[in-house]
Amino acid sequence: MANTTTKGNWVIEVLFDGATAWNMADHYPSGLSIESLEFKPTATDDLIIVRETSAAGPRLLDVKASSVYDSKIKYFNTEQSKKKLLLYIVGAEASTGSRLIITVK
């Protein structure tokens, strides 16, 4: 199984397989101006670590769900800011079946 990336005009959704890394540069080489990241777990203790640029990059989002209903959201580029980010998720740092919803500006 592989990660599944679904693209819309303003939203990108990534469904994780729990083993395969996801590199935003594969889809958007120059990065995107991201408004928010929302983590949707499928079970208690699901986790995700979203890094900037690479597997060794700084953590932008690091969460663990306390229940299946424990969605987490983090906002970026508030106000007029439009800095571009490149996201990277190590395969083992995103639980199987969990989703990351990326909203772009």
Domains in the chain (CATH in brackets) are 4-104 (2.60.120)
CB proximity list for 103: less than 8 A, separation 6 or greater: 10, 11, 34, 35, 36, 37, 38
pLDDT, one tens digit per residue, over 61-84 is: 999 999 999 999 999 877 777 789
Q: What pLDDT score does 104 carry? A: 93
pLDDT of the residue at 59: 97
Each residue's pLDDT tens digit, 1-31: 699 999 999 999 999 999 999 999 999 999 9
- Region 37-62: mean pLDDT is 97
Q: What is the pTM of this model?
A: 0.92
